[in-house]
Amino acid sequence: MTKVGITGGIGSGKSLICKILEQSNYPIYYSDNRAKELIASNKDVQQEIVDLLGENAFVKGEYNRRFVAEQVFSNSKLLDGLNSIIRPRMEEDFTSFTKENTSKIIFKESALLFDTDEYKKLDATIYISSPKALRIERTLKRDTFRTKEEVENIIDKQIPESKAVLLADYIIVNDEVESVLEQINEIEEILLM
């Protein structure tokens, strides 16, 4: 089994690439979705987050993502604390996910793949590259609650593309000009060798 990470900045098109791979019957581990499920269902995790960030981290039992994001994006100590609560449990969850699947290739989608050593535990990585203006436009269409400044802020805090492309084994350019399908097929052929 080959474990392949898929990453890219906000609005780069990770979801699009993953949907295409799913249509080829590849299992996709969606890190963000799994983290949401973990936070929603694990009382110990919820308590640790409240201990770290305060009662406002949850409103009527629901995870207050906006509040948490505001706290951790401006404070690296709090971000590290939140990650230390969630990451080890996510690693266990991914290990279970891989054991449940028999596919030759399993993909792990994660926006933070290169922000940690997470990528070193995988067999290969794919970085989705997309022009900044297009990423901002896509994100504003999807996340109507965000402002352009918020999206730019998020982009500025993410790993720079110049660094990410050096860490990636494969790069898919999602600029709405080049065919992502052709690029995916080329990478798939190499991975199946």
Over residues 140-151, the pLDDT tens digits come to 999 988 899 989
pLDDT band, residue 157 (cuts 50/70/90): confident
- Cβ atoms of 119 and 109 within 8 Å: the answer is no
Q: Long-range pairs for 102-105 at CB < 8 Å and ≥24 separation?
A: 102/1, 103/1, 103/25, 103/26, 103/27, 104/1, 104/2, 104/192, 105/1, 105/2, 105/3, 105/4, 105/26, 105/188, 105/191, 105/192
pLDDT at residue 145 in the model: 86
Q: For residue 118, what pLDDT is reported?
A: 84
- Which of 70, 100, 130 is where one domain is finished? 100
Same domain for 141 and 92: no
Q: Are residues 58 and 21 in the same domain?
A: no
**Same domain flag for 96 and 158:** no
Which of 71, 100, 129 is the endpoint of a domain?
Answer: 100
Which two three-digit tokens encode residue 30? Answer: 């969606």
Task: Give me the helix-helix angle, 65-73 and 148-157, nearest 10°.
Answer: 50
Domain that includes residue 72, residue range: 32-100
**Do 20 and 60 belong together in one domain?**
no
Identify whether residues 68 and 144 lie together within a single domain.
no
Residue 121 and residue 82 share a domain: no
| Number of domains within the chain | 2
Two structure tokens written together for 35 = 């983290």
pLDDT in tens, 34-63: 999 999 999 999 999 999 999 999 999 899
How far CA 1 is from CA of 4, 37, 82, 87, 102, in Å, comes to 10, 25, 31, 23, 8
The CATH code of the domain that includes 118 is 3.40.50.300
92 and 113 inside one domain = no
Mark whether 42 and 86 lie in a shared domain: yes
Residues 136 and 170 in one domain: yes
Residue where a domain stops, chosen among 100, 133, 154: 100
State the average pLDDT over residues 112-134: 93
Q: Would you give the DSSP letter of residue 159?
A: P
pLDDT-based confidence at 66, cuts 50/70/90? Answer: confident
Task: Tell whether 50 and 134 lie within a shared domain.
Answer: no
128 confidence band (pLDDT: 50, 70, 90):
very high
